[in-house]
Amino acid sequence: MADSHAKQHDYHLVEPSPWPVVGATATFILAVGAIMWMHGAQPWIMLLGVLGVLYTMFMWWRDVVFEAHRGDHTRIVQLHLRYGMILFIASEVMFFVAWFWAFFDASLYSNEAIQASRLAVTGGQWPPKGIEVFNPYHLPLLNTLILLTSGTTVTWAHHSLIHNDRRGLIWGLALTILLGMLFTSIQAYEYAHAAFAFSRNSGGNIYGSTFFMATGFHGFHVIIGTIFLIVCFFRALAGHFRPDQHFGFEAAAWYWHFVDVIWLFLFACIYVWGSAGASIHE
């Protein structure tokens, strides 16, 4: 009788979980709190929602890790997890397409963009007249080298894991995390010394808005990726990953490579190409 109820497939049917309901409730509280905060209320309700979302994320991913250790993540399940991560990264690509689109639209049709920002029209000049842009071959180039190096260290960690080299895995992850933190620190220094602002009310314009939205969201993704890798680092210390089953680390590595590639486009398009007009008009 027991054999008739045994699982005859490679799929994992998840057990009843409270986290979808808890997560939806926390997200609702976060949204309502954010709206109230934007209309002058205190941010406590929004912060409560943030804590609820973070708690849900931690507990839900903890359950997924338990399922993996229990053997529920068969080869079929792992394949579908990879499909999910690919689709997530694809959605992130389209997210950044929007910011690239905004930057190119403002730069290629700068006369209309500058008029829309209610600033003086400068004959289609981009960047707008009076904007002192960053030299792309100073800090931006340094950050490019840092991210490219971090891509090699996370690849080293991945290959070390595949070959069951725990020492290489730990050192590769540690170096990648340190490089990610260094990138964030340099970007924060760069922002603090920017000669242009984000908003019009603080002396900014369409160039500042598109620049900070594109590079700022990338910086946020670097922070998320660094946290992702820190979690993998502690999981690696605990011996969670095996050469034949390590999707958690693989997803983190994919995400980090995605962050690297997006930065290359940002560096080439926004820092190098975007500053070329300033050099021409000088």
What pLDDT digit, counting tens, does each position of 115-166 carry? 555 444 444 567 777 778 888 999 999 999 999 999 999 999 999 999 999 9
> What pLDDT is attached to residue 46?
96
Q: 26 with 52: CB under 8 angstroms?
A: yes
Interacting residues of 73 by C-beta distance below 8 A, sequence separation 6+: 12, 67, 81, 245, 247
42: left (phi over 0), alpha (psi -120 to 50) or beta: beta
Q: 223 with 217: CB under 8 angstroms?
A: no
> What pLDDT is attached to residue 121?
40
At 242, is the secondary structure helix, strand, or coil? strand
Query: What span, in angstroms and rounded, lies between the C-alpha atoms of 67 and 65?
Result: 5
Percentage of the chain exceeding pLDDT 90: 61
Query: What span, in angstroms and rounded, lies between the C-alpha atoms of 151 and 256?
Result: 7
Query: What span, in angstroms and rounded, lies between the C-alpha atoms of 49 and 275?
Result: 40
Q: Where are the alpha helices (DSSP H) in 238-266?
A: 247-266
Confidence of residue 213 (pLDDT cuts 50, 70, 90): very high
Mean pLDDT of 33-46: 94
Interacting residues of 281 by C-beta distance below 8 A, sequence separation 6+: 125, 129
At 188, is the secondary structure helix, strand, or coil? helix
Asked if pLDDT for residue 280 goes beyond 50, the answer is: no
CA quadruple 31, 36, 38, 39: dihedral sign: positive
* Token digits of residue 201: 């009310």
Asked if pLDDT for residue 202 goes beyond 50, the answer is: no
> What pLDDT is attached to residue 210?
87
DSSP 245: B
Residue 196 sits at φ, ψ, to 5 deg, of: -135, 155
31-54 b/e (C-beta count within 10 Å ≥ 16 → b): eebbeeeeeeeeeebbeebbebbe
Interacting residues of 126 by C-beta distance below 8 A, sequence separation 6+: 106, 107, 108, 110, 207, 274, 277
> What pLDDT is attached to residue 281?
47
Percentage of the chain exceeding pLDDT 70: 87
Domains delineated in the chain: 1-72 (1.10.287.70), 74-281 (1.20.120.80)
| Average per-residue pLDDT for the chain | 86
Mean pLDDT of 57-64: 92
Tell me the pTM.
0.85
- Give ∠ CA 130-136-142 in degrees, rounded to 5: 140
> What pLDDT is attached to residue 131?
77
At 269, is the secondary structure helix, strand, or coil? helix
What pLDDT digit, counting tens, does each position of 77-97 carry? 888 999 999 999 999 999 999
Asked if pLDDT for residue 279 goes beyond 80, the answer is: no
Asked if pLDDT for residue 108 goes beyond 90, the answer is: no
275 against 149, higher pLDDT: 149
Confidence of residue 203 (pLDDT cuts 50, 70, 90): very low
> What pLDDT is attached to residue 264?
96
Lowest mean pLDDT among 73-77, 98-102, 181-185, 246-250: 73-77
Say how many Å lie between the first and final Cα of the chain, rounded.
Answer: 84
Closest CA to 147 of 75, 218, 55: 218
